[in-house]
Amino acid sequence: MFKSALHAAFVATLGVLILAGCSTSSGIDSAHDINPGVNFSSYKTYAFISDHPMVVGQTQNPVSPMLEGRIMEAIRIALNAKGYNEVRDTESASMAISFSIGSRDQIKVDSYPSSYRAGWGARGSYYGYGYNTETVVRQYTEGQLAIDIFDVASHNPAFHGTATKKISSSDRENQQPVLNEVAAAALAAFPYRGGAVPVSQ
């Protein structure tokens, strides 16, 4: 009953308005929304909302069944680094974790000068100048991870964080390191244990 109630709350927060955002040097754009009515200083432990906490949104490619476990591990690393401990039983945890993934194809069009032209007329008169332009069209896939954290005692949403990154071929070949970065970015604004808010977001 408790988990079904949290699942319903999670689905309701998927469309929540993002109030703040930032971009990292690794090309990850992140944003977050924090419930001001939640006492984060009381949080000590977390648990995933179920054995399979991943919700798959719109994607361009089939999702590997191993991706869920890799993202769960990335979230563990990020939350453990903030001082929280994982427990198996959701009912005994301070907060419950769920997350969703999605991807979409993007097209980027760049136009830039490729050459400079100028000319001189009879008797040294200058008759014109300008640039030739070249247009380059690039297609790439952009992936997004959204992490939702719920207060177990009240069943209310406490935190919603997202991280978006352009997916490269190297990201596909070695997923865990980039997933760790993406999860850390999505949770960058989540307070450390004891309620301390990160200095830089």
Quickly list DSSP for 20-83: EEEE-TTSEEEEEEE-TT--GGG--EEEESSSS-EEE-S-SSPPPTTHHHHHHHHHHHHHHHTT
Q: Does residue 119 surpass a pLDDT of 70?
A: no
Per-residue pLDDT at 7: 47
Residue 22, token pair as written in the block: 């930032």
Task: Kindly indicate the confidence band of residue 130, based on its pLDDT and cuts at 50, 70 and 90.
Answer: low
Per-residue pLDDT at 113: 64
CA 165 to chain centre: 7
Diameter of the chain by CA atoms? 91
Work out whether the CA dihedral 160, 201, 46, 66 comes out positive or negative.
Answer: positive
Best CA proximity match to 44, nearest among 98, 9, 92, 6: 92
Q: What angle do CA 22, 97, 196 make, to 5 degrees?
A: 55
Per-residue pLDDT at 9: 46
Q: Which CATH number fits domain 2-104+141-186: 3.40.1350, 2.120.10, 3.30.160, 1.10.10?
A: 3.30.160
Instruction: Encode pLDDT of 132-153 as tens digits.
Output: 666 655 554 688 999 999 999 9
Per-residue pLDDT at 194: 86
Instruction: Encode pLDDT of 77-100 as tens digits.
Output: 999 999 999 999 999 999 999 999
CA 39 to chain centre: 24
Mean of all residue pLDDT scores within the chain: 79
Average pLDDT for residues 104-126, to the nearest whole number?
58
| Predicted model pTM | 0.73
Which residue did the predictor score with more confidence, 170 or 129? 170
